[in-house]
Amino acid sequence: MADNYLEKRYEEVFGPGAKPKGGPHRPALDTLLQRNRSYRGYDPSYVVHRRQLDAMIAVNPKVASSINLQRLRFRPVVKGPEADSVNAHIRMGRGLPELNLPFPGTQPEAFIIVCSIAPENPGIDIDLGISLQSMALKAVEMGLGCLMIRNFDREPIREALNLPYEPIAVLAVGKPAEQIELVPVHEGEPLGYYRRDGVHYVPKLTAEDLTI
């Protein structure tokens, strides 16, 4: 059966967003992956709750870790002065510098700061990727969206949040306020993301092109 066949068929019959009744609806992995885009604009009227960040952090005891050393630690940050100081030290959308993202009033107000208890190395960085992606997928499952941020000022954020360990990534969390579309492209075509008529397009190499 094709990916998400039942979900798609249900929406075709009952309209966009319709979900089967009876029990919590859990979107299939492909749907979660598709929705798990890098959001750089969030709905300011939606406030992310601490328990939502806790639910995201709670995926970590279920994921792989190099030699199972589990050297990542997580600091939730909700809307308030701490979130303001994180916003002052993160950078978004290096591929679209002329836009100065995020647009005023759409900055994220909640974050998970990922720290490492040991100096960064390839194993820790792979653990980091697994962790960020897993937490982001959990956010998507809850109807939220994320941005993985590595372009940030480590020392000021460490000081502002009084972190006992070095922060190695910031995961912004919120209710997405952006329309993002994936565009299939082939080897050699431009891979830079772009915006047109308010839609953010992200070129992705096809699975055939990725397969060697």
Ligand X SMILES: Cc1cc2nc3c(=O)[nH]c(=O)nc-3n(C[C@H](O)[C@H](O)[C@H](O)COP(=O)(O)O)c2cc1C
Cβ–Cβ < 8 Å for 189, 183:
no
Pairing of strands 179-185, 145-149: unpaired
The binder of ligand X chosen from 185, 193, 195, 209 (CB under 6 A): 193
From the centroid of its chain, how far is CA 3? 22
CA of 134: how far to CAs of 29, 128, 169, 170, 204, in Å? Answer: 11, 10, 14, 14, 20
Helix (H) or strand (E) holding 102: none
- Based on the shown chain and the rule CB under 6 A, indicate whether residue 136 belongs to the binding site for ligand X: no
Q: DSSP letters along 124-145, please?
A: HHHHHHHHHHHHHHHHHHTT-E
- Based on the shown chain and the rule CB under 6 A, indicate whether residue 38 belongs to the binding site for ligand X: yes
Considering only 3-11, 12-20, 78-86, 88-96, which stretch makes contact with ligand X by CB under 6 A? 88-96
- Based on the shown chain and the rule CB under 6 A, indicate whether residue 108 belongs to the binding site for ligand X: no
Would you say 32 or 148 has its CB closer to ligand X? 148
Considering only 15-23, 37-45, 105-113, 156-164, which stretch makes contact with ligand X by CB under 6 A? 37-45
- Based on the shown chain and the rule CB under 6 A, indicate whether residue 130 belongs to the binding site for ligand X: no
- Based on the shown chain and the rule CB under 6 A, indicate whether residue 93 belongs to the binding site for ligand X: yes
- Based on the shown chain and the rule CB under 6 A, indicate whether residue 149 belongs to the binding site for ligand X: yes
Q: Which residues contact ligand X (rule: CB under 6 A)? A: 37-38, 40, 91-93, 147-151, 180, 193, 202
